[in-house]
Amino acid sequence: MIPHRTIKLYGWRARLGIVLASPNAVFEAEAFKLVPEGVSCHYTRLPYREISGKGKAEMVSIASETALLLSGGTNAVGVDIVCFTHAGASMSAGIEGDKRLVKEMQEVTGVKATTTASCVTRAIKHLKAHHIAVMIPYNSIEAFAPVQRYLEASGLEVVTLKNGGFNTAAQVSSQPPEVTYRMLRDMDTPKVEAFLMAVPNMRTIEIIDKLERETGKPVVTGTIATIWNCLRELDIKDGIEGYGRLLES
């Protein structure tokens, strides 16, 4: 019998396990365009009952248990890495809380683990940027402070931090990519070295290359950084063109 990874099944090079918040309607539609041949993405979801600190903390508390559906649990898919993608939730837990979550997911699933929060900070540093403009699409002032604290504790300087004025996840995911483009473009200043939109529930991949060409500055998004970092953790370094300099690097 031929071992299942020696023939070209879906994910014959690697399987990425993605833990999404329940209302995310964008990540899956974008991610399959970003992975190289032989890499597949597999998903599970956890409930995000309210856009609040309480709702975020609840997700973090059950993320590892949910990840068992991807690896380590009975009849799990069997992925090679798991990623908790709600950046705001793990940023709200702080640097140490984020590290604890990664360690817990690794122990529970038996595979490598990461979070979108740690993916975006690693991506920005990889691109040699320090001063960043950060867009948060939600009209939630309480989300600002933990995001800024997390990024600055990671060694980055937040030059500009703005919200998009949206109140629900459905509003965010239904925006055309041109809205994301305008929001980020309007944040550009001479001091900004990179743009960050860490929420992976807003369309971005269509505008990244354009914005980078116009400004000469890299654009890091939650979805792009998650895919990039998961691939690098698995030592897959294919350059993927058309979606900005991070995936090309």
**Interatomic CA distance for residues 117 and 27, integer angstroms:** 15
Q: Of 45, 39, 86, nearest to 240 (Cα)?
A: 39
State whether 204 and 243 are in the same domain: no
**For 22-40, what is each residue's pLDDT tens digit?**
999 999 999 999 999 999 9
Structure tokens at 75: 């009849």
State whether 11 and 99 are in the same domain: yes
Which amino acid, residue 83? C
**pLDDT at 249 (0 to 100):** 87
State whether 125 and 204 are in the same domain: yes
State whether 12 and 103 are in the same domain: yes
State whether 212 and 130 are in the same domain: yes
**pLDDT at 53 (0 to 100):** 82
**pLDDT at 163 (0 to 100):** 87
Other CB atoms within a 10 A radius of the CB of residue 8 amount to 10
**pLDDT at 40 (0 to 100):** 97
Q: With a cut of 50, list the residues of the chain below it in pLDDT.
A: 1-2
State whether 240 and 215 are in the same domain: no
CATH number at residue 166: 3.40.50.1860
**pLDDT at 5 (0 to 100):** 53
Q: What does residue 199 show for φ and ψ, rounded to 5 degrees?
A: -75, 115
**pLDDT at 177 (0 to 100):** 95
State whether 144 and 199 are in the same domain: yes
**pLDDT at 2 (0 to 100):** 47
State whether 218 and 229 are in the same domain: no
Cβ distance 67 to 17 under 8 Å? yes
Residue carrying the six token digits 């990425």: 16
Q: CA distances (Å), 239 to each of 143, 150, 152, 172, 236, in order?
A: 34, 29, 29, 29, 9
Other CB atoms within a 10 A radius of the CB of residue 166 amount to 21
State whether 99 and 16 are in the same domain: yes
Residue carrying the six token digits 């399959």: 32
- How many structural domains comprise the chain? 2
CATH number at residue 237: 3.40.50.12500
Q: Name the residue range of residue 108's domain.
A: 4-116+224-248
**Exposed e or buried b for every residue in 56-87, given b needs 16+ CB within 10 A?**
bebbbeebbebbbbbbbeeebeebbbbbbbbb
**pLDDT at 154 (0 to 100):** 96
**pLDDT at 122 (0 to 100):** 98
**pLDDT at 52 (0 to 100):** 80
State whether 93 and 124 are in the same domain: no
State whether 171 and 231 are in the same domain: no
Cβ distance 32 to 64 under 8 Å? no
**Interatomic CA distance for residues 155 and 149, integer angstroms:** 10
